[in-house]
Structure 1
Amino acid sequence: MARPRDTGVDAKVLEAARALLRERGYAGFALDETAARAEVARTTVYRRWPTKDHLVVAAFATMFETAPIRETGDVRADLTSTLGAIGAGLRRPETRALVAELIAAGTRHPELGEALRALWAQRRTAAAELLDRAARRGDLAAGADPALILDQLVGPLYYRVLISGDPVDDQYARALVDAALACHR
């Protein structure tokens, strides 16, 4: 009979992986070093995450926990809160650098790119469901396109982080939400 998986080991490995990603980025990331930092056997890591990309995506996914999508029934407050949390993460230099590096690496490594897009698709689906419920409550115009609204909200954050270098502060998050909602009411 197989022994149950130790979730404490998973947490230690993911914590070590996040730290290594922040320090060295994707290019400097190694499963063996992650195992050493987590003080677990290499085979333990490889059994759970068979490739570097699997572990990178799993570790990156846990970073989204700092920007949860919460629903209070006030679409403006919910979107502003979510964008503010995303912006707060992106203000951290190591997170900014990691996002930029993973996006670039995802274009060169198709499996990584596919896994990252799947991760972002999960987040996008959760946010679209929030917007669908807001539309049913009448907070958005009939026929409002959740995908378009999300593009209008999140795209500018990443543009500022990756291209212009302009700030992604809470004031900017509120302005984005106000502008997007004004177009869809």
Structure 2
Amino acid sequence: MSPAEPAPRRGRPRSESADTRITDAALEVLLARGYDRFSVDEVAAQAGVAKTTLYRRWPTRDHLIVAVVARVQDEVLVEYTGDVRADLTRYLNEIADGLNRMRQAGRPASAGKQSAGLVAEVVAAAARHADVGEAVGAMFARRNTLVHTLIEQAQESGELRRDVDPVVIFDQLAGALYYRLLITGLPLDAAYVDGLVTSTLNGASAQPVPVPEAKEEPR
């Protein structure tokens, strides 16, 4: 074999279809059982793969759960359409919907008390395992870069001032969502997202976004 020729790869190539089956099954089990009762055995059986196949890809259940969360995040579209307020409101509503699903993972529909649930467990897993922490950091860095680019496009179009840091703008938005989820436990709903985006963009817009007037209740 000449030096220019690549060395042959050893072992079987990784199957994308197996990856998809595993993460599909893992998401279903995670939402049904929650973190505490999440079973790798159940995921493997449901995906129709051997546990060794699963563990070759994700060495612990924490690694697998992070992969599932990353997949859910990647399904949320990030796109600038020329209306930064609408774009950020849509994006944050989809993120809030996903966080609410994670809040309810493994909990009965009748459970009324809000919980940080699975998201708090992912944060704890990132603290337990250095490589899980790196994976979580890389996941958020990759996703956040897309939103930073959206904000930069809004600056280039004249919707937002150029002297405002896109990272700071998105930190204000995302940070508020996760603070509400992890610390206060208050609802993440469309009204909160709308107020959050309006308040944040009023500090960054070339022309402030008007705050909707409260409607008076009929007497």
**TM-score bracket relative to the smaller structure:** 0.7 to 0.9
2:159 match: secondary structure: coil
The one-character-per-residue Cα deviations of 1:12-63 (angstroms, maximum 9, x if unpaired) are 10011123333141x5545444212211122322333344443222211111
Match of 1:171 in 2: 191
Match of 2:108 in 1: none
Q: Say which of 173, 188, 207 aligns to 1:153.
A: 173
Count of aligned residue pairs for this structure pair = 184
Report whether the alignment pairs 1:100 with 2:110. no
Distance 1:108 1:55 in 2: 15
Alignment of 1:44-59 (within 5 A): 44-59=53-68
Q: CA deviation at 1:3?
A: 6.4
Of 58-67 and 164-173, the range deviating more from structure 2: 58-67
**Counterpart AA for 1:167:** P
Q: For the pair shown, which has the larger CA radius of gyration, 1 or 2? A: 2
5+ unaligned residues in a row in structure 2: which ranges?
A: 1-8, 106-115, 206-219
Structure 1 115/28 Cα, relative in aligned 2: closer, same or farther at 3 Å? farther
Q: CA deviation at 1:77?
A: 0.5
Match of 1:40 in 2: 49
Match of 1:134 in 2: 154
Q: Say which of 85, 91, 105 aligns to 1:76.
A: 85
Of 144-153 and 46-55, the range deviating more from structure 2: 46-55
Match of 1:90 in 2: 99
The root-mean-square deviation of aligned C-alpha atoms, in Å, is 2.1
Percent identity reads 45
TM-score, structure 2 as length reference: 0.75
Q: CA deviation at 1:155?
A: 0.9
Of 75-84 and 54-63, the range deviating more from structure 2: 54-63
**Counterpart AA for 1:120:** F
Match of 1:144 in 2: 164
Match of 2:24 in 1: 15
